[in-house]
Amino acid sequence: MKKTRLPLLALIFFVFMVFSILYNECNIQQINTEQPENDDNNHQSTVKIESLPKSTPVQNFTLPKKPPVGLDKFSKCSSTVPYSGRRAVWAVDTAESGGRGGVPRREECDVYSGKWVFDNTSYPLYSESSCPYMSDQLACHKHGRPDLGYQFWRWQPHNCNLKRWNSTEMWEKLRGKRLMFVGDSLNRGQWISMLCMLQSAIPADKQSITPNAELTILTAENYNATVEFLWAPLLVESNSDDVVDHRLDERILRPDAIRRHSSQWEHADILVFNSYLWWRQDSVKLSWSTEENGVCEEIDGMKGMELAMEAWADWVATHVDSQKKRVFFVTMSPTHLAKEDWEPGSEGNCYNEKLPIKDEKYWGTGSDLPTMRMVDKVLNQLGSKVTVLNITQLSEYRKDGHPTIYRKFWEPLSTEKMADPASYSDCLHWCLPGVPDVWNELLFHFL
Ligand SMILES: *[C@@H]1O[C@H](CO)[C@@H](O)[C@H](O)[C@H]1NC(C)=O
Ligand SMILES: *[C@@H]1O[C@H](CO)[C@@H](O)[C@H](O)[C@H]1NC(C)=O
Ligand SMILES: *[C@@H]1O[C@H](CO)[C@@H](O)[C@H](O)[C@H]1NC(C)=O
Ligand SMILES: *[C@@H]1O[C@H](CO)[C@@H](O)[C@H](O)[C@H]1NC(C)=O
Ligand SMILES: *[C@@H]1O[C@H](CO)[C@@H](O)[C@H](O)[C@H]1NC(C)=O
């Protein structure tokens, strides 16, 4: 892997682009008709507890302290101090060393080592316009992308073939089950891709989708199955859990509180998690649930991700019975914000890129190696309870797969920006049909 130092300018640009594209989205507008309720219950119960008469003598030291108010988009830190180094105490110490659960893994072909092959006979797996669940953020052809080459690539491992996608077979695997994607907008893209890949195999009147704020559910009546998406960009509870309105100045998370989301995902039979791009910032703020005065601790983005991953790993370790549940973790989705990564000396980004990268050793500055090592470490502790969908390297090659300017932008663009397409190109998300379809083929392969 090429060892690259991210120049300061590129970093500032990266943070800017991630901010303006990742956080500035109203995404599932087509299917989301209601404003999310934003954790009202939490407020009510807090109010109730606070208004209890003070007459009961509180002398029992084991009584819980005042329950923490749920974080929401209005949450603020009263003050901020540097990170103290504290960690939550988990039932399972994910920081201790261990291997893949001691289970020797079957020697199999490495499906991640391979190349993209142009294949316009089997791809795309569905057409953009025939998928009723398509998002305006990902429908690149509809938004004017003239070159459609990005739809015609098959991932070909060097030493074997991926299982051929078959939507009927996938539905059979899902019969009587709940498949849930949990994460950020990249994960939502994979969920939409899955809906598009699956929908044509069942009659339109046997499928329905429920817009349900942060949890959206597609139900397939004839298979008694659901394919769901849960918005949880930081995995743990945070001030960004509102699926529509999360364009905030600061990210506040509760590294010891995962219940808000886990209570929604725990009933799923197959879980597909992701988390990465939201942590690509200088710092995030921690608001521990035991902190009653609103004091936050400031921590480096990746270190914040590590704390959230530990909370998540603890949930997996203590709640997942591998015989009953499958858990997948999707690794970093690469960005293509700096053209000089693949064309040294040039300026710009993924705008106007029409072909995948051929160099098999290619690794861009958008995929952070320390983060990858941290994720490796956490996943290793979980052994066979988690299957990794290691999409990073294969997606690194696909500089041609992003929406760039061919998507709906939720804010009007200035004429200045319009004159310089690269300045507002989305090089984070992926056009559909496209790269996430292959991530789902990998999921199908391992299911
Ligand atoms: C303290 O509270 C716990 C649970 O709230 C209760 O089971 C226990 O009996 C209490 N102990 C005393 C000494 O009041
Ligand atoms: C596939 O691509 C080849 C080469 O670009 C072209 O000649 C052929 O017409 C295409 N076939 C289809 C079905 O689009
Ligand atoms: C897809 O899977 C179904 C059910 O397993 C099977 O009957 C069908 O032949 C498969 N289709 C193809 C094209 O392999
Ligand atoms: C549908 O699946 C659920 C589990 O997701 C199960 O509890 C229920 O019995 C199933 N219903 C039918 C009619 O098979
Ligand atoms: C994913 O693949 C990369 C190589 O592309 C490897 O370095 C990394 O350890 C893998 N991560 C996991 C969690 O398997």
Separation of alpha carbons 114 and 155, rounded Å:
7
Residues in the chain where the model's pLDDT stays below 50: 1-4, 26-64, 95-106
Instruction: Note the ligand closest to the C-alpha atom of 60.
Output: 1
Cβ-based burial of 10 (10 A; exposed 0-12, middle 13-18, buried ≥19): middle
Predicted local distance difference test score (pLDDT) of residue 22: 73
Domain count, the chain: 1
Is residue 164 in a domain?
yes
The answer, yes or no, to whether any atom of ligand 4 lies below 6 A from the CB of 222, is no
- Residue numbers of the domain that contains 424: 79-446
Instruction: Note the ligand closest to the C-alpha atom of 173.
Output: 3
Is residue 440 in a domain?
yes
φ/ψ region of 224 (left if φ > 0, alpha if ψ in -120 to 50, else beta) reads: left
Predicted local distance difference test score (pLDDT) of residue 9: 62
Tokens of 23: 């956080």
Predicted local distance difference test score (pLDDT) of residue 213: 76
Helix (H, G, I), strand (E, B) or coil at 384: helix
Is residue 408 in a domain?
yes
Q: Check which CATH number belongs to the domain holding 340 and give it.
A: 3.40.50.1110
Predicted local distance difference test score (pLDDT) of residue 153: 97
Distance 167 CA to ligand 3 centre (A): 8
Is residue 15 in a domain?
no
* Whether the Cβ atoms of residue 405 and residue 351 lie closer than 8 Å to each other: yes
Is residue 42 in a domain?
no
* Whether the Cβ atoms of residue 441 and residue 155 lie closer than 8 Å to each other: yes
Q: Which of 175, 218, 224, 271 to mutate to test the pocket of ligand 4 (most atoms within 8 A of CB)?
A: 224
Separation of alpha carbons 264 and 237, rounded Å:
12
Is residue 211 in a domain?
yes
Predicted local distance difference test score (pLDDT) of residue 409: 86
Is residue 18 in a domain?
no
Give which of 296, 304, 282, 290 is closest to 234, Cα–Cα: 304
Helix (H, G, I), strand (E, B) or coil at 297: strand
Predicted local distance difference test score (pLDDT) of residue 288: 92
Residues with CB under 6 A from ligand 5: 331, 372, 375-376, 379, 388, 390, 392-393
Predicted local distance difference test score (pLDDT) of residue 36: 32
Distance 63 CA to ligand 1 centre (A): 7
DSSP string, 92-159: S-TTS---STTPPPP----TTSEEEEE-TTT--SS-GGG-TT--TTT-TTTTT----GGGSEEEEESS
Residue nearest to atom 1 of ligand 1 (CA): 60
Is residue 160 in a domain?
yes
The tens digit of pLDDT for each residue in 109-155 reads 899 999 999 999 999 999 999 999 999 999 999 999 999 999 999 99
Residue nearest to atom 2 of ligand 4 (CA): 176
Predicted local distance difference test score (pLDDT) of residue 66: 61
CB count within 10 Å of CB 171 equals 17
**Looking only at Cα atoms, what is the longest distance across the chain?**
76
